[in-house]
């Protein structure tokens, strides 16, 4: 006798609640529970495909044994709630056509029931879905953290406002008069402050330091885990998350800093040979720190060449800096003021003056395009940009990264590149792939060149801030249009998708567009209108090497890290990561007060 629909759901919900209440309570963050109850006389299988997994083969999630019309067979499985899932129910365990399918973004800690039964009238298979336990809102910890940080920021600005009030100033002056020990030091230090303020200083571009500090603060946060939210981690392959923004911003800032610093040194009489020695030494230090200090953890033991990873973040930054700084050392201009008289060049002055650099960058990008799309890769189609594994319907499982992965394994060896790429879990890949590989460094230099271009604009049009902002906006629109055309405004279907692992051309143009907009906004707010001093980001921005190396070396130690007690929510993870990031901002503030700035 067939079980009525309402009765079946009620009975099933009662049984499932008893059997799986403990399992639901033990679910970790980004996890939910699915129970499939089948009344069919043959086994059924539940398959899934993540919407972030492009052209992926359906994967088996669970198999339910055969049931009867009166008694169901049940099976339960834990699923990820990070991305939307396409679910399919098929008869048997083979490759049969699905009897039903649906798309859904499952939510954290929810318990979902799928009732599979035959329709009494048509003999069709029905898949009825319900919730046994409502999910929790995983974004509440983010809201709490935002309110706390907003409150701290409000208190800081309130304190600053009160300290500037006339009554506060008079009160402090009365306190100084009544305290002899303070009077002994107060006037002297005040005199020193006045003397320092009267001493002419080279004006610093505060917006650039703030942009660098903002990027570094965000980088520390995402490196510490980002509260274990998926959008604070790198995208599995194509697309962008918050974590994918920070390193390109750093590369952009490198280019801008090269333009400003080299111009200042040339004006002080530093020769180009001295510049060459300086940039070579700095490149060596960056690469050495990356290879010998940040390449392995204390638990790995002595560094061994047998498994040491050659590429890395600082190595990528070092090579990028060397390429751009070497080029600019040769073609930089010592005096930009003389060009103001040539009015007909005003619209394209920042391009015409540096045409050799544009020629070099176009040549580098041509090399990247030719190697990426024309280099024969054994077992892979030409121009392959996919992750391999189960992507592209499993046709190219060993082609992760196409030419980029092939070049790294050929030049460096498979043992010396990254073995846990972001695509490994989602796409079930088996090949190593390094996101800081050789081929991507070419486009990293192109990204730095756009930052160099921003620095040239600031120098050439420094007497006309609105012109700087207009040119920033023009370049942002131009680069955004290139990205829109090459990606077809999609994540996966374009000619060249936005891909941080490959540092694709569209990744560079998209992030350069964002960089021009963000730097332009900060330049207007901080350096033009003086509405904001850049606090607190300006402090880590002026000690970026110290903060980056420090957070990398000490990130696994208390108080930046501790043993997590509650694995069921984001609260403790988010608190740990926010606190660790805030500590480094505070340390950089103390170093700023002590006038300690680590430079290489």
Q: Could you give the residue numbers annotated as active site?
A: 234
Q: How far apart are CA 285 and CA 545, in angstroms?
A: 11
Which DSSP category does 562 fall into? -
d(CA 380, CA 398): 8
User: String of b and e for 418-457 (b: at least 16 CB within 10 Å)?
Assistant: beebbbbebbbbebbbbbbbbbbbbbbbbbbbbbbbbbbb
* d(C-alpha 520, C-alpha 244), whole Å: 20
Q: What is the pLDDT of residue 300?
A: 55
Q: How remote is the C-alpha of 423 from its chain's centroid?
A: 15
Residue 33 near residue 20, CB atoms below 8 Å:
yes
What is the reported pLDDT for 303? Answer: 57
What is the number of other CB atoms lying within 10 angstroms of the CB of residue 70?
Answer: 9
Cα Dmax for the chain: 99
Cα–Cα nearest to 462, from 250, 174, 203: 203
CB atoms within 10 A of CB 183: 12
CB atoms within 10 A of CB 376: 9
* Phi, psi values for residue 250, rounded to 5°: -60, -45
User: Which pLDDT score, from 0 to 100, does residue 11 have?
Assistant: 40
Q: What angle do CA 257, 253, 260 make, to 5 degrees?
A: 20
What is the distance between the alpha carbons of residues 422 and 374, in angstroms, rounded to a whole number? Answer: 25
Q: Please, what sign has the CA dihedral across residues 402, 404, 410, 412?
A: negative
What is the model's pLDDT at position 186?
Answer: 37
Locate tokens 């992965």: which residue? 405
114 neighbors 35 (Cβ within 8 angstroms): yes
Model pLDDT, residue 192: 37
Reading the chain (600 residues) residue by residue, the pLDDT tens digits are 344 444 444 444 444 444 455 555 677 888 899 999 988 888 889 999 999 999 998 899 989 988 887 788 889 999 989 999 999 999 876 667 888 899 999 988 889 999 988 877 777 888 888 888 888 888 898 899 889 888 888 888 787 778 777 776 777 677 666 544 433 333 333 333 433 333 334 567 899 999 999 999 999 999 998 888 999 999 999 999 999 999 999 999 999 999 999 988 888 888 889 999 999 999 999 888 888 776 655 555 555 666 678 888 889 999 999 999 999 998 888 776 654 445 555 667 778 888 899 999 999 999 999 999 999 999 899 999 999 999 999 899 999 999 999 999 999 888 888 888 999 999 999 999 999 999 999 999 999 999 999 999 999 888 888 989 999 999 999 999 999 999 999 999 999 999 999 999 999 999 999 999 999 999 999 999 998 888 889 999 999 889 988 888 888 888 888 888 888 888 889 999 999 999 999 999 999 998 888 887
pTM: 0.87
Strand ranges, E, within 308-386? none
Cα dist from 515 to 204, 215, 249, 388, 427, whole Å: 19, 11, 6, 31, 30
How distant, in Å, are the alpha carbons of 254, 452, 534, 549 from that of 209? 11, 15, 8, 18
């Amino acid at each position: 006798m067939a079980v009525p629909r309402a009765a079946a759901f009620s009975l099933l919900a009662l049984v499932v609640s008893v059997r799986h209440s403990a399992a639901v309570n033990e679910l970790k963050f980004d996890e939910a529970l699915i129970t499939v109850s089948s009344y069919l006389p043959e086994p059924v299988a539940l398959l899934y495909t993540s919407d972030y997994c492009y052209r992926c083969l359906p994967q088996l999630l669970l198999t339910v044994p055969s049931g009867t019309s009166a008694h169901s067979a049940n099976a339960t499985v834990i699923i990820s709630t990070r991305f939307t899932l396409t679910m399919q129910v098929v008869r048997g365990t083979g490759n049969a056509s699905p009897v039903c399918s649906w798309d859904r973004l499952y939510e954290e800690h929810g318990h979902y029931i799928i009732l599979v039964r035959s329709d009494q009238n048509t003999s069709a298979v029905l898949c009825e879905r319900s919730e046994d336990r409502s999910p929790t809102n995983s974004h509440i910890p983010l809201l709490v953290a935002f309110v706390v940080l907003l409150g701290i920021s409000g208190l800081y600005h309130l304190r600053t406002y009160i300290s500037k009030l006339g009554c506060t100033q008079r009160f402090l002056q009365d306190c100084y008069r009544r305290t002899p020990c303070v009077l002994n030091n107060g006037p002297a230090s005040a005199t020193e402050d006045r003397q320092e303020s009267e001493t002419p200083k080279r004006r610093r571009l505060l917006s650039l330091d703030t942009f660098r500090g903002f990027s570094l603060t965000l980088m520390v946060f995402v490196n510490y885990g980002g509260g274990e939210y998926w959008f604070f981690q790198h995208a599995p392959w194509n697309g962008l998350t918050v974590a994918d923004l920070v390193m390109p911003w750093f590369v952009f800032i490198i280019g801008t800093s090269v333009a400003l610093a080299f111009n200042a040194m040339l004006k002080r009489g530093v020769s180009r040979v001295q510049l060459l020695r300086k940039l070579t030494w700095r490149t060596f230090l960056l690469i050495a720190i990356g290879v010998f200090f940040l390449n392995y953890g204390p638990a790995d033991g002595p560094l061994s060449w047998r498994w040491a990873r050659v590429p890395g973040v600082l190595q990528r930054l070092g090579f990028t800096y060397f390429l751009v700084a070497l080029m600019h050392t040769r073609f930089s201009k010592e005096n930009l003021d003389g060009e103001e008289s040539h009015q007909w060049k005003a619209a394209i002055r920042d391009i015409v003056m540096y045409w050799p650099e544009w020629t070099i960058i176009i040549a580098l990008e041509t090399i990247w395009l030719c190697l990426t799309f024309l280099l024969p890769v054994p077992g892979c189609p030409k121009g392959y940009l996919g992750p391999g594994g189960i992507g592209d319907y499993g046709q190219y499982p060993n082609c992760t990264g196409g030419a980029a992965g092939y070049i790294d394994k050929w030049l460096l060896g498979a043992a010396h590149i990254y073995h846990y790429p972001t695509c490994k879990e989602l796409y079930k890949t088996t090949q190593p792939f390094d996101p800081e590989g050789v081929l991507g460094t070419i486009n990293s230099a192109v990204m730095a060149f756009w930052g160099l271009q921003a620095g040239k604009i600031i120098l050439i049009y420094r007497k006309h801030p609105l012109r700087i902002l207009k040119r920033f906006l023009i370049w942002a629109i131009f680069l955004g249009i290139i990205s829109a055309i090459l990606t077809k405004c999609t994540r996966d279907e374009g000619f060249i998708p936005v891909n941080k692992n490959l540092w694709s051309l569209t990744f560079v143009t998209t992030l350069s567009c964002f960089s021009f907009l963000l730097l332009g906004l900060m330049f207007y707010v901080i350096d033009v209108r003086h509405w904001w001093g850049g606090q607190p980001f300006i402090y880590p921005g002026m000690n970026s090497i110290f903060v980056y190396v420090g957070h990398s070396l000490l990130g696994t130690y208390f108080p930046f890290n501790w043993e997590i007690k509650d694995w069921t929510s984001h609260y403790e993870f988010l608190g740990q990561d926010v606190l660790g990031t805030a500590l480094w901002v505070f340390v950089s503030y103390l170093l700023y007060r002590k006038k300690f700035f680590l430079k290489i």
